[in-house]
Amino acid sequence: MEKVALQVEGMDCANCALTIRNYLQKQGMDDVRVNYVSGDVAFVATTPIDINNISKGIEKLGYSVQKPGTSKITTNNFWQWSNKTRIYVSALFTLPLMLHMIPGVHIHWLMNPWVQLAFTLPVFAIGMATFFKSAWNSAVSGVPNMNVLIVLGSTAALVYSLYGAIIGEAEQYMFFETTATIITLVLIGNALEDASIAATQKQLNALAVNEELMANMIAYDGNYQENLFQVPAKDLKVGDLILVKTGETVPADCKVLWGDVTINESIITGESEPLPKKMNDVLVGGSI
């Protein structure tokens, strides 16, 4: 029996985690755990396995596996644009397609289907470069993800509009802007999701650091003299007295016995607005 842990990049949602989980279970792995937020994948192999083959199988699903002992996966490939660049380029070509939908705006040359096709194709190319591989691999694996819907929706709108332009009935089949809008909005949504995941991961890492925190513990000697010394936060026990100074991280869940304080609990609640705490209020470990 062997416990295996991998770091996988490219997971965007719970369905991505489900795709990897199902694949590993089909390979005979037990106790499969996949966290799409952190990218952690862990499982138990009951028989000898070739980890390289498992990694290649995950990569065929459209994800990247970071090998142990290596740094974060990066690339200098010119064609691998950043998400920000893709959004800017897609928006640049999508916005003109939306102009004719604004009441009172009449730009006749934008109504030409071939002009709209010219604006749509760059966005469509970016969309396919971004979503097609993942969509295809997930469909083949039998667990379609959200990218399948994106590819089908944008492609259907493009083909339908192109058909109308070819037969000369573009006014009845004009949906080029739908293709561009779907792709651009999803790119923006993915960027926002990535930012949210990064913030969450940062907070999770901060929570993990709490295990290494030192606490200012208060103890009294035989003469009832107060003494202050530092102990690892993980060694604190119920009933211990601690002193939390301004700007310090609360080392463990505790109750305020004296004094008033303002606490930032964003690591727990996500709200950055400091909250006032008074005597007998509970402080959450990890807050500041």
Same structural domain for residues 136 and 185? yes
Which among 9, 70, 12, 71 is positioned nearest to 41, based on CA atoms? 9
Same structural domain for residues 222 and 266? yes
For residue 72, being part of any structural domain is answered with no
Phi-psi category of residue 31: left, alpha or beta, with phi > 0 → left and psi -120 to 50 → alpha: left
- CA dihedral 197→87→63→182, nearest 10 degrees, is 100
Q: Write the pLDDT tens digit of every residue in 21-69.
A: 888 888 888 888 888 777 888 888 888 888 888 888 888 887 888 765 5
Judge whether residue 73 has pLDDT over 50: no
Q: Write the pLDDT tens digit of every residue in 149-188.
A: 999 999 999 999 999 888 888 777 788 999 999 999 999 9
Query: Which domain-ending residue is among 66, 98, 113?
Result: 66
Instruction: Quote the strand ranges of the chain, DSSP E.
Output: 2-9, 30-35, 40-45, 64-66, 214-220, 226-232, 241-243, 254-255, 261-263, 275-277, 282-283
Same structural domain for residues 100 and 180? yes
For residue 75, being part of any structural domain is answered with no
Which among 10, 50, 6, 5 is positioned nearest to 27, based on CA atoms? 50
Burial (0-12, 13-18, 19+ Cβ within 10 Å), 7: middle
Q: What's residue 269's pLDDT?
A: 66
User: Whole-number mean pLDDT of the chain?
Assistant: 81
Return the H-helix or E-strand segment holding 102: none
Same structural domain for residues 92 and 193? yes
CB atoms within 10 A of CB 277: 18
Same structural domain for residues 200 and 228? no
Note down the domain range covering 256.
213-283
d(C-alpha 288, C-alpha 265), whole Å: 7
Same structural domain for residues 154 and 231? no
d(C-alpha 171, C-alpha 165), whole Å: 8
The structural domain count of the chain equals 3
Which among 6, 133, 144, 150 is positioned nearest to 60, based on CA atoms? 133
Same structural domain for residues 201 and 218? no
Q: What's residue 71's pLDDT?
A: 47
- Scan for tokens 């730009």, then name that residue: 107
Same structural domain for residues 109 and 130? yes
CATH code: domain of residue 55: 3.30.70.100
Same structural domain for residues 163 and 254? no
Q: In what order do the strands lie in the sheet with 30-35?
A: 30-35, 40-45, 2-9, 64-66
Same structural domain for residues 31 and 147? no
pTM over 0.75: no
Return the sign of the alpha-carbon dihedral for residues 44, 46, 48, 54: negative
- Scan for tokens 């192999």, then name that residue: 45
Q: What's residue 161's pLDDT?
A: 92
Bridge partners, 73 (sequence order): none
Q: What's residue 188's pLDDT?
A: 92
Return the sign of the alpha-carbon dihedral for residues 151, 154, 155, 157: positive
Q: What's residue 105's pLDDT?
A: 67
Q: Write the pLDDT tens digit of every residue in 103-129.
A: 776 777 888 889 999 999 999 999 999
For residue 22, being part of any structural domain is answered with yes
Same structural domain for residues 170 and 259? no
**Overall average pLDDT of the 262-280 stretch:** 78
